[in-house]
Amino acid sequence: MTVSEKKPMQTKNKVLIAAVSLIVVAGIACGVYFGVHNKSVNNNVSNSTSNNSTSGSTSSLVSPTPTLAGATPTPTNVLPSGQNGTMINGTLFPYYTLTGEAPVPVGIPGTVYTTCKTPGTFSISFDDGPSDYTHELLDLLDKENLKVTFFVNGNNQGCIYDPKVQSVLKRAYQSGHQIASHTWSHPKLTTLTTQGITTEMTRLEQAFMDVLGVVPRYMRPPYGDGTFGPAAKDAVVQSTLKGLGYVITTWDMATTDADIDDNNTPHKLTDEALMKIEQGQVTSVVNAGAKGATHMELMHDTYMRTVRIMAPWSINYAKGLGYKIVPVATCLGDEDPRTWYQKIGPPSANPPTTCTK
């Protein structure tokens, strides 16, 4: 190749090298620019999230984690839009605004309480439900602005997982009433082994977590069995329940509706005759006690006449005597609803709809 032929070639190579160099420099410049820009954006998002976390809210830039069907939602304490109350570990206490640390519970696990401890209180509680009449009872309690205790079974009058039962149970809980355990299937606990008692309680615990997101601290043994003797059998029941963290409550007055009412038509007793007996059970206890003595009254929301006649009468009677009507836990000194439950977490995203034997 001659010298004259090399010059054009060298010129072309220089141009090519210069063009490549220009592209490389431009690429580096763009990379630096976008790297700095993205870092700035990320810092802004991080700062925004940090600031919102400090103030107790969640940044709108953070998308919620999707929940798979059948899975338990990730716990969150962010209150749903339009809801009032307090979120605790992913479950809602709609009726209550709770601040600060939960107080130390007053009720002692394994101890049997038969009447209230807080002066001037009168607790009203209902066993064996929910039932077809519980919505009517909740309407009455809403109207009276009263809170009571429901001792709930898992599979007795109806299956706790039945959508209709779930609906009324959620309504009772979300209205601020205390939800307590009455065992899974309503057996006499003194007839069971320690393992049998444990199964009765833990099976219902799982149902409560599935439907409501709480496990109660309070329970009532069916028939009061395990609290009236014989001592040896009672000791097994009470020690087992203590190990499971349960405060045991019975009653000092019972309307005896479960013993004498006939929920079918025709009734064995007229309304007047039935109410005379049931009201007499209440007034006799009050009249026999000291003036202003506290009381725990037991009824069942599974009886139509209890819900429609006896419950309104009991409310008016207790109010007329100057009592403050409260849930069982409250009358024992556990006023903060967080102390009513030994476990609080998010309910199941897709609970069962039937009970299996």
Catalytic residue check, 259: no
Active-site residue, from 127, 234, 252, 257: 127
Whether residue 34 is found in the same domain as residue 127 = no
Segment 269-317, tens digit of pLDDT: 999 999 999 999 999 999 999 999 999 999 999 999 999 999 999 999 9
Whether residue 18 is found in the same domain as residue 158 = no
Whether residue 104 is found in the same domain as residue 22 = no
- When pLDDT is averaged across residues 70-80 and rounded to a whole number, the result is 48
The CATH number given to whatever domain includes residue 122 is 3.20.20.370
H or E, element range at 180 = strand 178-181
Active-site residue, from 210, 257, 300, 301: 300
Asked whether residue 332 is domain-assigned, the answer is yes
* pLDDT at residue 56 greater than cutoff 70: no
Asked whether residue 123 is domain-assigned, the answer is yes
Name, in order, each residue with C-beta under 8 angstroms of 189's C-beta and a sequence gap of 6 or more: 183, 197, 200, 221, 222, 225, 226, 237
Q: What is the pLDDT of residue 132?
A: 93
Which of 96, 101, 92 has the alpha carbon at shortest distance from 337?
A: 96
Asked whether residue 50 is domain-assigned, the answer is no
Specify the higher pLDDT residue, 34 or 223.
Answer: 223
Averaged confidence pLDDT in the chain: 82
Whether residue 28 is found in the same domain as residue 165 = no
Whether residue 26 is found in the same domain as residue 135 = no
Asked whether 150 and 123 are in contact (CB, 8 A), the reply is no
Whether residue 35 is found in the same domain as residue 170 = no
3-state helix vs strand vs coil in the chain, percent to 5? 45, 15, 40
> Among 78-82, 215-219, 299-303, 304-308, which is the least confidently predicted range?
78-82
Number of domains, the chain: 2
Which of 205, 227, 223, 202 has the alpha carbon at shortest distance from 214?
A: 205
Asked whether residue 223 is domain-assigned, the answer is yes
Asked whether residue 293 is domain-assigned, the answer is yes
Give φ, ψ of 324 to 5 degrees. Answer: -100, 120
Asked whether residue 111 is domain-assigned, the answer is yes
Whether residue 24 is found in the same domain as residue 137 = no
Whether residue 131 is found in the same domain as residue 17 = no
Q: What is the pLDDT of residue 81?
A: 56
Whether residue 36 is found in the same domain as residue 106 = no
Asked whether residue 60 is domain-assigned, the answer is no
Confidence of residue 99 (pLDDT cuts 50, 70, 90): confident
Asked whether residue 176 is domain-assigned, the answer is yes
The total of other beta-carbon atoms located within 10 Å of residue 156's CB is 20
Whether residue 207 is found in the same domain as residue 329 = yes
Phi-psi region of 226 (alpha: psi -120 to 50; beta: other; left: phi over 0): left
Segment 221-262, tens digit of pLDDT: 999 999 999 999 999 999 999 999 999 999 999 999 999 998
Q: Cα–Cα distances in Å, from 332 out to 30, 78, 102, 320, 344?
A: 71, 31, 16, 22, 21
Question: Which residues form the domain of 328?
Answer: 89-344
Q: What is the pLDDT of residue 83?
A: 56
How far apart, in whole angstroms, are the C-alpha atoms of residue 41 and residue 34?
10
- When pLDDT is averaged across residues 131-147 and rounded to a whole number, the result is 96
Name, in order, each residue with C-beta under 8 angstroms of 160's C-beta and a sequence gap of 6 or more: 152, 153, 154, 166, 169, 204, 207, 211, 355
* pLDDT at residue 125 greater than cutoff 70: yes
Q: What is the pLDDT of residue 357?
A: 58
Whether residue 112 is found in the same domain as residue 194 = yes
* pTM given for the model: 0.77
Catalytic residue check, 135: no
Whether residue 36 is found in the same domain as residue 93 = no
